[in-house]
Amino acid sequence: MNATVNSAVRERMHVRFLLSDAGPLLALILLMAIGSMISPVFLSKGNLYNILSQIAVLGVGALGMTYVMISGFFDLSVGGVLSLAGVLVVGLQPSFGFTVALLAVVAMGVGIGCANGLLLRTIRGDFGASIMITFGVGTILAAVALLYSNGYSMTVQYSRFLSWLERGGVAGIPAVAVVLMICAAVLHVILRYTVLGRYMYLAGASARVALSSGVPVYTIRTIALCMSALMAVIGGLMETAQTASASPVAGVGYELDVVAAVAIGGTSLSGGWGSVVRTIVGVLLVGVLNNVLILVGLSTPEQMIAQGLIILVALITDRQRKSNLS
């Protein structure tokens, strides 16, 4: 009798777990159904491509943040990285050419990720320390971007690559969306099928157990931070191309947006759980939600309330998932 009851309880818990796990995807499907009923243009190729263009900058940042959060850290420096990458590539281009400027900002991104990792390794930092350290680094980078640009937006000179990002594409798909898909595919393969990916999950699930098993936890987390900064650089290039200018405040609030998108997709805020696929679903959910809210005609404050409610639901779902697993 007890065995039957226990089996029924486990079955109900399994169903609840699957429903909470599939929540973001179900919400995305529901939103798309609502959008198609609200407006006949919602499912048009032009509108769908517009959504992809709008989520590209958020998406690449969210991909990098996925690595960091799975490994058990946070990275609040990505907003500063995005701002500084934009003004640097525009500022260096006239003197050194676009290729050198591009390599410089990529090196800067990797260097910032390494610096974040080194600082956290030096103090043996935990999850909380990663928030404070990367927030401090991001604040410094934002200030440097303001100083470098004298507080003004910088006009982009012609570049074949930036021009392609702005107006180009592949088979009709916007270039920025193509870059997002390539980044997602590469990062998915690394996370899903390599030793590095498995180590990131182990580091996030339990750093103490991972260390005792020989996993170089801080090295793994530093790699994740480097990946996050690199994705923020790519996001900065996309933002610069799309706006035809580099603003020193382009990254303000960016770090919170990417954290929200990753959390909405189902990646655990406490590490050890998540995937690139989930993050893409989360980013799409944010993009479709914004599009539907605009079609409905909601004001900006009302849109912010709706987005905030979605984030709260994602956090509650995350806690419920962890309770089901415990």
E strands, 82-121, where? none
Identify the band that residue 17 occupies on the pLDDT scale cut at 50, 70 and 90: very low
Q: How many residues does the chain have?
A: 326
pLDDT at 323: 60
> Global pTM?
0.89
pLDDT score of 24: 81
Query: Which pLDDT score is estimated for 318?
Result: 63
Owner of token pair 């750093």? 207
- Strongest mean pLDDT among 48-52, 167-171, 312-316: 48-52
pLDDT, tens only, 90-127:
999 999 999 999 999 999 999 999 999 999 999 988 88
CA distance 292 to 302: 12
Delineate the domains of the chain, giving CATH numbers in brackets: 24-325 (1.10.3470)
Of 138-147, 153-162, 278-287, 296-305, the one with minimum mean pLDDT is 296-305
- Our CA dihedral for 252, 258, 261, 262, rounded to 10 degrees, sits at -160
pLDDT of residue 157 exceeding 90: no
Which of 144-148, 248-252, 262-266 is the least confident region?
262-266
Burial 288-316 (b: 16+ CB within 10 A, else e): bbbbbbeeeeeeeeebeeebeebbeebee
What separation in angstroms does the CA of 273 have from each of 131, 225, 263, 321? 19, 17, 11, 10
Mean pLDDT on 190-198? 95
pLDDT at residue 316, rounded to an integer: 74
Q: What is the mean pLDDT of the chain?
A: 88
Spatial CB neighbours of 160, under 8 Å, sequence gap ≥ 6: 98
The residue that leads in pLDDT, 304 or 40, is 40
